[in-house]
Amino acid sequence: MATTSEIKNGLTIEFNGKPHQVVYFLHVKPGKGGAFVRTKLKNLENGRIIENTFNAGAKINIIRIERRAYQYLYKDDMGYNFMNLETFEQIPMQEDLIEGVEFLKEGQEVEIIFNADTETPLNCELPDFVIMEITYTEPGLKGDTSTSAMKPATIETGSKVMVPLFIEIGEKIKIDTRTKEYVERHKD
């Protein structure tokens, strides 16, 4: 067992019987009363972020996690299927464990976070940026590139993102999977 003095960003702890990752923490020592640690914790099973305050010196249970490289293969009635790039072992995962599932395409490499003690998958993370092809968008007006106006566009996975007016069908764009927003045109 560890104490709150060991809390840092990225640490995975057991909170309310579930694995949570510390997204943000702040040690506070007020003039009156005891010190405490204010945290934002991300539930690795469902992705929800909650705030919690621990008293200084409180006991916490640290969970050992491992990140492993996997490749997305296909989706079926069992869920989304991934293959380990080292052992070629395949595992299915439910949609709610995958962050940014709308940007997942076959053959894409992802990182799956495992609880190292129980060997259970906790979460699947896509790369921060993905390259997608535009399959449909309304045509933009010629010369209308000076404004920051945006229009909806459908990408190859079927998801919709907002893109600038000058983007056309067939172009490839770079998308930030964390914010789900257009970043730039992809240069081949």
- The C-alpha atoms of residue 39 and residue 49 are separated, in whole angstroms, by 10
- Please state the rounded mean pLDDT for residues 153-173: 90
Q: With contact defined as beta carbons under 8 Å apart, do 103 and 175 qualify?
A: yes
pLDDT tier at 145 (50, 70, 90 boundaries)? low
pLDDT of residue 143: 60
Q: Give percent of the chain above pLDDT 90.
A: 46
| Average pLDDT score, the chain | 88
pLDDT of the residue at 83: 95
Q: What is the pLDDT of residue 144?
A: 57
Tens digits of residue pLDDT in 52-69: 999 988 999 999 989 999
Q: Which comes out higher in pLDDT, residue 144 or 136?
A: 136
pLDDT of 1 > 80? The answer is no
Q: Full-prediction pTM beyond 0.85?
A: no
List the domains of the chain with CATH numbers.
Answer: 2-62 (2.30.30.30), 65-125 (2.40.50.140), 129-185 (2.40.50.140)
Q: What pLDDT sits at residue 10? A: 87
Mean of pLDDT values over 13-18: 90
Indicate whether 90 pLDDT > 90: yes
**Rounded CA gap, 184 and 167, in Å?**
10
